Amino acid sequence: MSTTCPTGAITSFPLQMAISATDALYEGVSEPVTIDFQWASRSTPPMFISPQQNATTDEVSAGNSNLTTLRFMNKSYTISAVQIIQASHTPWILPATSQTNNKEDIAITFSSGDTTTTYAYLTFIIPILRSSVGSPSYLQGLSNPNANGPFSVQSCFPTSTRANFAYYATCLAGYSKLANTQTSYIFVNTNGIEVSSTLITKILELTGRTGSFAQFSPPYVSRLTNKRTSIRSIPEFSSYVLTTNQLLNYTDFVKQNPALKTNVREDNTDAYQCVAIDPDAAVVDGKINVDLGTGEVLTEVLTKRNALLKVNNLKPSMDPGRLEKYMGTAIGIVLSIVLFWIIIQFTAMMFVDQGPGPDQGGSWLTSVPTYGLIILIAGFIGFVVGTMIN
């Protein structure tokens, strides 16, 4: 890690576009990613905390535990700010004829408390296209304190699950001279959402501002620089920007690419301070495996599975470890019988009649090896067949 951003990294907001955006330009850098959103809703209308300053809503406020979260690259994030800001990525919008209708954006920022994650923040920029129609419920709540809920920031996102997003990374300076840099991913919806001009004008009036909303002011604003990076060629664009039309298409995208979904998370044992677990069963190599679908320790999931198999008179298939154990036992038995057979053979040779005279009793001993060999072969075959059937 480093305490300073590398040379050439984007260190400001926004990434400026000095070339014309086209569908071909975006398709040329397509790198599909998807995000698993867990949308929260509220019954009371949202309102601005400091409308004249930065038009941040009270979506994240004291006592509000019902917050929208998401999982990205197997890391959890929680919503940390919702703002209405002046237009920031107008040249990115397609079709180009819609760019003149973009006067403001919705900026929604999520943060991760995991210090090991590559991307500390995720910010989603949704351009607002003023039109004669369009009234997302969240914006309706902002414009009317008496509006009826529920209200969710989900209504601020495009309704199409295949909406296109361009995304890039911004390097954030360390919050102190000894702190490492971090990164924020910026996702820009390139089509925007239509919102009634009347509705936006009313919201702007409620802020007490005239003309336009304030500039973007995320939780990490103090760690940005004023040095603006500008894209002036297609090679530069390809170096900084990627696109995806799967961002909101998590369910279908994971069905098509099941390997992308991680069902088991590995935690350190110190992450469980108030959870009753069996340390002999749950802890493997100092780690605890957790089923992300249920939140249960994986060994508990397996215990329930075995109980279900027992109720239904089912048996799991033999694993290689058990088969190896049984085969080792079988070989040990075989070797013991062979040794016993050799001893009998040697003894029989000592008592076999060597000439005239009465029988010395060796005839029954000489027959033992044959009987023993037959019993050995039959027993071994029976053991193997029985093991396979089990």
Q: What dihedral angle (degrees, nearest 10) is formed by the CA atoms of 294, 299, 300, 304?
A: 100
Token reading at 285: 């190599």
Q: What are phi and psi of 282, to 5 degrees?
A: -85, -30
Per-domain boundaries in the chain: 16-258, 269-311, 320-389
* Digit-coded pLDDT (tens) for 89-114: 999 999 999 999 999 999 999 999 88
CB atoms within 10 A of CB 52: 10
Q: Give the pLDDT confidence of 2-36 residue by residue, as tens digits.
A: 778 888 899 999 999 999 999 999 999 999 999 99
Strand order in 283-284's β-sheet? 264-268, 287-291, 283-284
Q: What is the full DSSP assignment across 19-43?
A: S---HHHHHTTB-----EEE---BS
Sign of CA dihedral 129, 132, 133, 138: positive
Contacts of 122 by beta carbon, 8 Å cutoff, 6+ apart: 35, 70, 72, 77, 109, 110, 111, 184, 185, 187
The model scores a pTM over 0.75: no
pLDDT in tens, 228-280: 899 999 999 999 999 999 999 999 999 888 876 644 444 444 443 444 445 55
pLDDT for position 227: 85
Q: Which residue, among 68, 72, 71, has the nearest Cα to 80 in the 3D structure?
A: 68
Which distant-in-sequence residues (6+ apart) come within 8 Å of 49 by Cβ?
56, 57, 58, 61
The Cα–Cα gap between 297 and 290 comes to: 4
Q: Say which residue, 103 or 366, is predicted with more confidence.
A: 103
pLDDT at site 310? 55
The predicted-structure confidence for 194-223, as pLDDT tens digits, reads as follows 999 999 999 999 888 888 999 999 999 999
> Among positive and negative, which fits the CA dihedral 260, 75, 165, 18?
negative
Eight-state DSSP code of residue 326: H
Where on the phi/psi map is residue 150: left (φ > 0), alpha (ψ -120 to 50), or beta?
beta
Whole-number pLDDT of residue 273: 43
For residue 284, report the phi and psi dihedrals to the nearest 5 degrees. Answer: -125, 115
> Identity (one letter) of the amino acid at 48?
F
| The domain made up of 16-258 is a member of CATH 2.60.40.1930 | no
Which is higher by pLDDT, 302 or 271? 302
- Cα distances from 128 to residues 10, 79, 83, 87, 224, in angstroms, run 25, 20, 12, 8, 24
